[in-house]
Structure 1
Amino acid sequence: MKFKCPICGKPTDSEADRDFPFCSDRCRLMDLGNWAAEKYKVAAETKMDESEPENGGTREPDANHESE
């Protein structure tokens, strides 16, 4: 399959390029550097406020703790 390198935009082939999806080792290393420098971000779901229980307002005792 033919794609464009995500770093430089040059054409790259999944069957011919060993660095696929990158066109070269240089672009592959640039991408790794971008991850290391935290230039990319992965979207995450926001956590629910811990003061609001998921079960509609009643808190159930934690199974790992004995009730007093």
Structure 2
Amino acid sequence: MAEKDDKPAATVAPLRKAVPCPICRRPSAREHYPFCSPRCRDVDLNRWLSGSYAIPVADDEAKAEEDDA
């Protein structure tokens, strides 16, 4: 007979490996995932909005313009 405290396997959430905060490297918090705090979340948002994070442009565009000329 199963006890009342036993939970079926389907309702038990799998444990996720702890991921460090990408800003300060402290352990991330569930409510702010993947960050550890609202401060680190806001720092990341500011970096995106200010253009600190950018995808580098390849020189292929300059070569394509030279080929067209």
Shift of 1:27: 0.8
| Superposition TM-score, scaled by structure 2 size | 0.57
Over the matched positions of the two proteins, sequence identity in percent amounts to 34
Inter-partner Cα distance in structure 2 for 1:39 and 1:8: 17
C-alpha deviations, 1:4-59, integer Å up to 9, x for none? Answer: 1011111125xxx1221111122111100011122222223221342304xxxxxx
Inter-partner Cα distance in structure 1 for 2:49 and 2:26: 23
Aligned to 1:44, which of 57, 64, 67?
Answer: 57
- Number of paired residues? 50
Q: Does 1:30 align with 2:46?
A: no
Q: Does 1:5 align with 2:18?
A: no
> Partner amino acid for 1:7?
I
The runs of 5 or more residues in structure 1 that have no matched partner are 54-68
| Superposition TM-score, scaled by structure 1 size | 0.57
Q: Which structure is higher in helix share?
A: 2
Match of 2:14 in 1: none
CA RMSD in angstroms comes to: 1.8
